[in-house]
Structure 1
Amino acid sequence: MEKKERLRAIVEGSVFTGIIQFLILASAVVFVIESDRQQLEVDPYATHFIVLDVVFLVLFSIEYALRVYIEPKKRDFVFSFYGLIDLVAILPSLFLVPGFRVLRILRFLRIFRIFKATRFILAVDRLGAALREIQQELLALVILSLMFVYLAACGIHFFEREVQPEAFGSILDSMWWSVVTLTTIGYGDVYPTTSGGRLFTALVALVGVGLIAIPSGLLASALTEARVEREQIEADEAENEK
């Protein structure tokens, strides 16, 4: 048990964490470089890339094995979010072994290695806590947004269906314009030409600004509360240690 605790201290220590973060970034960089080589129609299975894949495979496999070993509830860890991310970071490299290249389409899954970095970012934990805090409000906002998308599509269809049947001939066709306008993206590929349609578009755009601003405000407030709560916990822990 003492040996496992010492190993846990090493795995969760700053040095080991720094090494894993470096490997994550290196893996992501290699992924980007290799994709560029593919674009240039150069053999993506050049020897140095195979060597790097094997190195990453071995090191990430060792890390995964260590984390499973030090966890008291191994099954819970294996099927947890981070446990699955660790596993996904390993599996694609197995398909790069000669003889398994038929499965090379799965190579893109290596990009999931970058998500392993979230294990070490405290801000991500606060973000997760903030999202859980406002999940009911976000769900209500999603439902409200879908309602507005539907109503906006119905409205623009009413105003524009006669003059632009190719773009607004049905409510379903009008959905694209509705989503683009409510999200304030405004591609400009389809737009109203009638006076009523333009006035209606202005109203929809104003509603869209509000829909975009609401979740931003909710998330900012929840993040502030999560930060204050975390700082209070740290202050209490520091006080108890004295």
Structure 2
Amino acid sequence: PFEVFSVIVFTAEYAGRIIVCKLNPKYQNVRFARLRYIVTPMMLVDLAAILPFFLPFVIVDLRFIRIIRLLRLFRLFKLARYSEPMRTLGEVFKAKAGDLAVAFFILFIVLIFASSLMYHAEHKAQPEIFSSIPASMWWGIVTLTTIGYGDTYPITILGKIIAAGVAVLGIAVYAIPTGIMASAFTEELRKRRIQKKNKCPHCGKEIT
């Protein structure tokens, strides 16, 4: 079957990478170089991709095996190694991880603040729906993401005013990570164009 063939190829590739990893200058003259290489994110993804095939031979618990089979989805991440756009996306996330973390932290603070306001505005009118601030966070998530399921909504005047403000604020808040990613993609593509200009198209060496 194709799965057996693909697992054999992936396993051979995985073992080969471990064997030759010391050829990489980054892992030369480093203690436990192969172990450090094995625990890198991409190698862990590769291990998760091939592990589900071998585990049924040593584990008989069918429930556990069904869960482990979900790890097969990690094989999709292997495409990132051979796809230029996927590598670019990875570099962008790596470069802007700090900025994105701050942006989502701000979004989380806004969510808590909006849910707290709505709880105090609607709790007396709808105690079964807005029973607590954590329960009100479902409304906050739906409103900030502009999904609008309609299962939870305010009925008081104050609640409707808060909901309108939060809906508008949600658009502005999501513009922050969107802007960060857009600028990061532009910068990364600019760097790659410069690198290509400074490299020989035939041998790939840098032109000095």
When normalised by structure 1's length, the TM-score is 0.72
The answer as to 2:54 corresponding to 1:104 is no
For 1:59 and 1:134, locate their aligned partners in 2 and report how far apart those are by CA, in whole Å: 34
Q: Quote the offset at 1:98 in angstroms.
A: 8.7
- How far off is 1:196 after superposition? 1.4
Q: Does 1:191 align with 2:153?
A: yes
Q: CA 1:135/1:59 → structure 2, altered by over 3 Å: closer, same or farther?
A: closer
Instruction: Number of aligned residue pairs: give it.
Output: 192
Instruction: Indicate the SS of the match to 1:167.
Output: coil
The residue that corresponds to 2:116 in the other structure is 154
Q: Secondary structure at the residue paired with 2:198?
A: helix
1:130: Cα distance to partner?
2.0
Change in Cα spacing, 1:100 to 1:52, as seen in structure 2 (3 Å) is farther
Identify which of 181, 186, 191 aligns with 1:229: 191
CA offset digits 1:4-29 (Å, max 9, x no partner)? xxxxxxxxxxxxxxxxxxxxxxxxxx
Q: What residue number does 2:14 align with?
A: 64
Please tell me the root mean square deviation across aligned C-alpha atoms, in Å. Answer: 2.2
Q: Deviations over 1:180-235 (max 9, x none)?
A: 11121211110011121111100000000011122111101110100101110111
Which has the larger displacement, 124-133 or 160-169?
124-133
Q: Aligned equivalents of 2:122 and 2:59: distance in 1?
A: 58
For residue 53 of structure 2, what is the amino acid of its counterpart?
Answer: S
CA contact (8 A) 2:79 2:86 kept: no
C-alpha separation between the residues in 2 aligned to 1:125 and 1:53? 25
Contact 1:57 1:94 in 2 (8 A): no
The alpha-carbon distance between structure 1 residues 152 and 236, as it changes in their structure 2 partners (threshold 3 A), is same
The 1:132/1:67 distance shift into structure 2, 3 A limit, reads closer
Name the residue aligned to 2:38: 78
Is 1:165 the equivalent of 2:127? yes
1:28-39 to structure 2, matched below 5 A, reads none
Q: CA deviation at 1:121?
A: 1.5
Q: Does the residue aligned with 2:148 lie in a helix, a strand or coil?
A: coil
Distance 1:101 1:110 in 2: 18
Question: 1:99, CA displacement in angstroms?
Answer: 7.3
CA contact (8 A) 2:139 2:153 kept: yes
Q: Do the aligned partners of residues 234 and 112 (structure 1) sit closer, same or farther apart at CA in structure 2, a change above 3 Å counting?
A: same
Higher helix share: 1
* 91, 103, 107: which one aligns with 1:129: 91
> Does the 8 A contact of 1:92 with 1:107 survive in 2?
yes
- Is 1:90–2:40 an aligned residue pair? no
Q: Structure 2: 5+ residue runs without aligned partners?
A: 28-33
So what's the TM-score if we normalise by structure 2?
A: 0.82
Give the whole-Å Cα distance in 2 for the aligned partners of 1:127 and 1:98: 37
Residue by residue, what CA displacement relative to the aligned partner does 1:72-96 show, whole Å, maximum 9, x if unpaired? 2433332212211121121110134
CA contact (8 A) 2:59 2:65 kept: no
Q: Which residue of 1 aligns with 2:78?
A: 116
Q: The residue matched to 2:128 in structure 1 has which SS?
A: helix
* Distance in 2 separating the partners of 1:93 and 1:195: 58
User: Which residue, out of 176, 182, 188, partners 2:138?
Assistant: 176
Measured after TM superposition, the shift of residue 241 of structure 1 is 4.7
Retained in 2: the 8 A contact 1:159–1:196? yes
One-letter amino acid of the structure 2 residue matched with residue 104 of structure 1: I
Q: CA deviation at 1:65?
A: 1.8
Distance in 2 between residues matched to 1:112 and 1:218, nearest whole Å:
27
Measure, in 2, the Cα distance between the counterparts of 1:99 and 1:151: 47
